[in-house]
């Protein structure tokens, strides 16, 4: 069964929910809500990776996320830490998190892979070609799915050299990172190429811009509402599950839970 990761952004500037959960009590309550709706993992992040975002000092990031992780661990709720910083990964694991989710695959901080190798935690290795402020300039592919798989293979090899066991590795094709809308769809259609690497596959499409482009609008200056984005997320998550994704990362757990249940019933699971 495909797992659901519920997104918990402890940030003022994330693209769709920035500022909503900066209060610790509100963040913890939302995590409990996501868990009750069916999230197996709460993915806690203290630094936005939206296009054009500005890097955050690791000390600030840790002040945001560590108390939340400690509280959720005490409540028996499993967490992952969404971070580019090795020091934050170490602090989060010490606070009780189980998975380090690095969208850069260890490229943003050369200390990340060696640090994770010493931790009793898994790592989600994302496909990444550079910082958010200029990543779209790097969206040059001849065959996107194949090239993403190849570049992920290189990062998996780097993780192995650092001492991370294969069964601790999750791969994420980095939907929305250094990819145009069509390239994102091409990568999703090629999920089997990512799965062929032999590791668990994490897919994160939640509320991203390429879904907005696909949905279209009634007027040029209109934007699809969050519920419409969440419906599109649920559909892509269900299709990813059918293509072999081990887990999907979403803001709205309930709609994705229902979509996965329907696909499971259709398939006789």
- Positive or negative, the CA dihedral 196, 197, 202, 207 is negative
C-alpha closest to that of 45 among 2, 99, 119, 109: 99
Per-residue pLDDT of 214-243, as tens digits, reads 887 654 555 668 888 999 999 999 999 999
What is the pLDDT, as a whole number, of residue 61? 95
Report yes or no: 151 and 141 within 8 Å, Cβ to Cβ: no
Report yes or no: 236 and 257 within 8 Å, Cβ to Cβ: no
Across the range 155-180, mean pLDDT stands at: 97
Residue 39 sits at the vertex; the CA angle it makes with 160 and 65, to the nearest 5 degrees, is 65
- Positive or negative, the CA dihedral 169, 190, 249, 221 is positive
What is the pLDDT, as a whole number, of residue 216? 77
Measured in residues, the chain has a length of 269
Q: Is 208 a catalytic residue?
A: yes
**Residue 131: pLDDT above 80?**
no
pLDDT band at 168 (very low <50, low <70, confident <90, very high): very high
Across the range 185-204, mean pLDDT stands at: 97
Q: What is the mean pLDDT of the chain?
A: 92
What is the pLDDT, as a whole number, of residue 22? 79
Cα of first residue to Cα of last residue in the chain, in angstroms, is: 9
Q: Is 179 a catalytic residue?
A: no
pTM, entire model: 0.93
Q: Residue 34 and residue 31: Cα distance in Å, rounded?
A: 5
Q: Residue 127 and residue 153: Cα distance in Å, rounded?
A: 10
Residue 33 CB-half CA count within 13 A:
13
Report yes or no: 191 and 243 within 8 Å, Cβ to Cβ: yes
**Residue 207: pLDDT above 60?**
yes
**Residue 19: pLDDT above 60?**
yes
What is the pLDDT, as a whole number, of residue 138? 78
Across the range 133-150, mean pLDDT stands at: 87
At 227, list the tokens.
């519920």
- Better-predicted residue by pLDDT, 32 or 15: 32
C-alpha closest to that of 92 among 16, 21, 10: 10
What is the pLDDT, as a whole number, of residue 203? 98
What is the pLDDT, as a whole number, of residue 226? 85
- Better-predicted residue by pLDDT, 176 or 139: 176
> Among the options 35, 207, 208, 229, which is catalytic?
208
Token pair 């001492």: residue:
163
What is the pLDDT, as a whole number, of residue 173? 98
Across the range 50-64, mean pLDDT stands at: 82
Q: What is the DSSP string of 78-112?
A: -EEEE-S-HHHHHHHHHHT--EEEETTTTSS-TTH
Q: What is the DSSP string of 128-155?
A: --S-TTTGGGG---SSHHHHHHHHHHHH
Across the range 75-91, mean pLDDT stands at: 98
Residue 239 CB-half CA count within 13 A:
14
What is the pLDDT, as a whole number, of residue 86? 98
What is the pLDDT, as a whole number, of residue 52? 58
């Amino acid at each position: 069964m495909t797992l659901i990761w519920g997104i918990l952004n402890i940030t003022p500037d994330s693209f769709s929910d920035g500022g909503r959960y900066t209060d610790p009590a509100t963040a913890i309550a939302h995590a409990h809500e996501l868990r009750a709706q069916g999230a197996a993992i709460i993915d806690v992040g203290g630094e936005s990776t939206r296009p054009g975002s500005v890097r955050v000092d690791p000390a600030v990031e840790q002040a945001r996320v560590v108390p939340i992780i400690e509280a959720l661990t005490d409540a028996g709720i499993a967490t992952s830490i969404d971070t580019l910083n090795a020091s934050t990964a170490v602090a989060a694991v010490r606070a009780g998190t189980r998975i380090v989710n690095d969208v850069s695959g260890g490229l943003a901080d050369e200390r990340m892979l060696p640090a994770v190798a010493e931790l009793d935690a898994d790592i989600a290795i994302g496909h990444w070609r550079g910082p958010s402020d200029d990543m779209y300039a790097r969206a040059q592919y001849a065959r996107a799915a194949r090239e993403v798989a190849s570049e992920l293979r290189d990062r998996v090899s780097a993780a192995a050299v650092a001492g991370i066991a294969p069964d601790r590795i999750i791969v994420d094709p980095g939907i929305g990172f250094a990819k145009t809308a069509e390239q994102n769809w091409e990568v999703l259609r090629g999920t089997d190429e990512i799965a062929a690497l032999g590791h668990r596959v994490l897919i994160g499409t939640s509320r991203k811009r390429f879904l907005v482009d696909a949905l279209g609008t009634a007027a040029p200056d209109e934007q699809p509402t969050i519920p419409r984005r969440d419906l599109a997320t649920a559909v892509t998550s269900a299709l990813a599950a059918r293509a072999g994704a081990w887990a999907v990362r979403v803001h709205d757990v309930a709609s994705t839970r229902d979509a996965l249940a329907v696909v499971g019933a259709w398939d006789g699971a």
